[in-house]
Amino acid sequence: MATPHSCGLPEEIIIWEILIRLPPKSLLRCRAVCRVWRHATSHRQFLLAHHARQPSLPIVFSSIHGNEISNTIATLDHRAAVPQDQLQPIGPRDQIFLEASCDGLLILYKYGTDAKHCFFVYNPTTRQHSPIRQLLRFNIMGMYPHRPTSEYRLLLQKRYMDSSQDQIGCCVFALGSDQPLRYIGWPEKASEWFTVPVRMRDSLHWYPMYLSRQTEPVMVFDTVSESFRQMRAPAIPTKACMFEMDDTLGIYSCNTTLEIVNIWVLQNYKSEVWNLKYRVALPIAEIREKFDDHDAYWNANVASGNGDVLLLVSFNHWLFYVDTDGKLVASFQGFYASRFRHKQTLVPHTFFTTLDVNDVRTLNLMSHPKAF
């Protein structure tokens, strides 16, 4: 039976209707109120449900920091109209590169000037991190939860040398595992170059980075059977990228003059039917006139969430939000867009050994983030 709280509401309502909607930092502070709240909000079932309610936000990188180049990682929420100086950092500085993102976890590559390079898995919400020592000779194609085993796994790409030729191959690696990487082969007729994948329906989806023909298919990796297949794609004459749009797939591409962005949306996943939903004329002339730079290079990414579709245009150390009508919505100095997204999580994982999410130090680290 749910017991009433001092405010008159049952604990079940407070926990599953109120606390579950709080951002992670506020939720951790609420654990100090009473033992009931601390116990309930530390349970894995609650933390999974809490993570599911967090917004999935585009990740951006800082292009300048003072007078120096920086690679600070941040998230950007256009709905909150967050100004540039209030962007919340989610990663350390000093030669850190983002390689993969999944369920609030990041795979980062640390480049050391003393040749001590390493990969590590990192939770920006709890500041937990753990090194991954088996990946130095691989390209990371994507990260995913393997539902049959509840493991988080990496799909890796490597060239395997034999006596006759240089053969491309893929391997699977489970985070926290001491087992050798498992070779699973390479999909037939697949492009060697892939962009950031879109995870949906227990599968990773890519559109090739460089086209060899207009009828290039979408490459799909089934994360349950850990096998490849192909999906039909719309006829796209230029290079294109995939994104998630309201629980379905989207593909966007620019025309040859980089002024028009075409956005296709998958109407039916099973029948693989696509529809050209948006054709956005970017306000490039307005941007160049406003910032008095006609020679700077620019590019555009598509961000989607909660029914909104916006374009992130990177131009000369500025990041612009543009809506589907081609209207300039907002601008942020010193950032450029990535194709990764981030969704905060407090869910514990066994491959982390540096910190426990119930430890009070977690809150201190979130209040005063430090590089490591």
Domains and CATH numbers, the chain: 1-53 (no CATH), 54-367 (2.120.10)
pTM of the shown model: 0.85
Which residues make Cβ contacts (< 8 Å) with residue 37, sequence separation at least 6? 14, 15, 19, 30, 31
Q: Which of 131, 65, 53 is nearest to 335 (CA)?
A: 65
Mean pLDDT by 10 residues, the chain (372 residues): 60 92 94 92 95 91 56 74 49 72 92 68 90 81 95 85 60 88 78 82 86 72 94 84 88 82 92 93 83 70 81 84 90 85 93 54 37 27
Q: What is the dihedral of CA 227, 233, 238, 243, to 10 degrees?
A: -70
How far apart, in whole angstroms, are the C-alpha atoms of residue 333 and residue 64? 9
Q: Which helix (H) or strand (E) holds 357?
A: none
Q: What is the pLDDT of residue 15?
A: 92
> What pLDDT, on the 0 to 100 scale, is given for residue 192?
62
* Per-residue confidence (pLDDT) for residue 75, from 0 to 100: 87
